[in-house]
Amino acid sequence: MEEKENQYNKKLFGLLGKDISYSFSKGYFTEKFRNENLDNHNYINLDLPAIEDFPLILEQYKSDLSGINVTIPYKEVVISFLDEIDEDARRIGAVNTITISPKGRLKGFNTDVYGFEHSLKPLLEDHHKKALILGTGGASKAVAFALHKLNIEFFFVSRNPQKKNEISYNQLTEELFSEYSILINCSPVGTFPNVEKSPKIPYEFLSKKHLLFDLIYNPAVTTFLSNGKKQGAVIKNGLQMLELQAEKSWAIWNS
């Protein structure tokens, strides 16, 4: 009976992205499955050079694949391949979790919002009223959604600002930094192996009233965070956010 149950519960999960050999998810879920004695659960990297290859992956693993996480650079473009999308994910415009029904229907969710919100909240103080989001990709959209839920005003900072709520890195002044005390790096700048790099902001205008949050977790202390710490700022990386969003994904897959 137990053998039949284990066979019935055989499930495969994966991470969809590009150049993701470094990624957190595979290691996290592999360890989780081992710790929880889920012997017939496996997690693999679905490393694709182009999103157009996604249907081929679905066909290859269609009999086993039960759920997918999505990372850079496919959180936005994957939406066009889905049959259905959760309302919050639709409003955000980015998906990082996909469920696959027994009939093969794909539904998209966003658990980055949950992970970021609950990772940031314990650090917030009364003066943390406004934020600058560095980057405009899929992750930044989830961060913006969470900030809106927390009643924190924000601007996106972009190399090529195109929208009303976007400003350029050249517009980051001491006066602006005195008002916007939360800075969130949603760009990949500073990720291993390019650890010496950091977003081009005037770090000399940071102070102990500032809070710097980097979605990057490898290295644990990026140059962005290190520069902030030297100025007395509170810093946090994206590891807890990843853990929280992963557990939220797991809950969705098993709901």
Mean pLDDT value across the chain: 94
In a domain, 252, yes or no: no
pLDDT of residue 2: 39
**Does residue 82 contact residue 27 with C-beta atoms inside 8 Å?**
no
Whether the predicted pLDDT of 55 surpasses 50: yes
Residues 29 and 14: beta-carbon distance below 8 Å: no
Q: Please indicate, yes or no, whether residues 121 and 71 belong to a single structural domain of this protein.
A: no
Same domain, 8 and 85: yes
pLDDT score at 1: 35
pLDDT value for 72: 87
Query: For residue 156, what are the domain limits?
Result: 113-241
Residue 59 makes CB contacts below 8 A (sequence gap 6+) with none
Q: What is the pLDDT of residues 119-166, one digit of tens each?
A: 999 999 999 999 999 999 889 999 999 999 999 999 999 999 989 999
**Does the structure show a pLDDT above 70 at 192?**
yes
Q: Both 155 and 236 in a single domain? A: yes
234 shares its domain with 193: yes
Same domain? For 155 and 212 the reply is yes
Please answer whether residues 161 and 168 qualify as being in contact, where contact means their C-beta atoms are separated by less than 8 angstroms: yes
Kindly state whether residue 205 falls inside one of the protein's structural domains. yes
- Verify that 103 and 154 share a domain, yes or no: no
Same-domain status, 83 and 199: no
H, E, C per residue of the chain: CHHHHHHHCCEEEEEEECCCCCCHHHHHHHHHHHHCCCCCEEEEEEECCCHHHHHHHHHHCCCCEEEEEECCCCCCHHHHHCCEECHHHHHHCCCCEEEECCCCCEEEECCHHHHHHHHHHHHCCCCCCEEEEECCCHHHHHHHHHHHHCCCEEEEEECCCCCCCEEEHHHCCHHHHHHCCEEEECCCCCCCCCCCCCCCCCHHHCCCCCEEEECCCCCCCCHHHHHHHHCCCEEECCHHHHHHHHHHHHHHHCC
Residues 130 and 22 reside in one and the same domain: no
Q: For residues 33 and 241, what is the distance between their CA atoms, to the nearest angstrom?
A: 20
pTM, two decimal places: 0.91
pLDDT, average across residues 82-93: 97
Q: Are residues 129 and 194 in the same domain?
A: yes
What's the CATH number where 67 sits? 3.40.50.10860
> Residue 4: pLDDT above 60?
no
Residues 86 and 117 in one domain: no
Confidence of residue 186 (pLDDT cuts 50, 70, 90): very high
* Final residue of a structural domain among 110, 142, 170: 110
Do 70 and 132 lie in one domain? The reply is: no
**Number of Cβ within a 10 Å radius of residue 25:** 24
Q: What is the domain count for the chain?
A: 2
Can you tell me the distance from the alpha carbon of 9 to that of 21, in angstroms, rounded to the nearest whole number? 27
pLDDT at 21 over 90: no
75 is catalytic: yes
From the list 4, 11, 62, 75, the catalytic residue is 75
Q: What CATH number should be reported for the domain holding residue 172? A: 3.40.50.720
**Shared domain check, 124 and 183:** yes
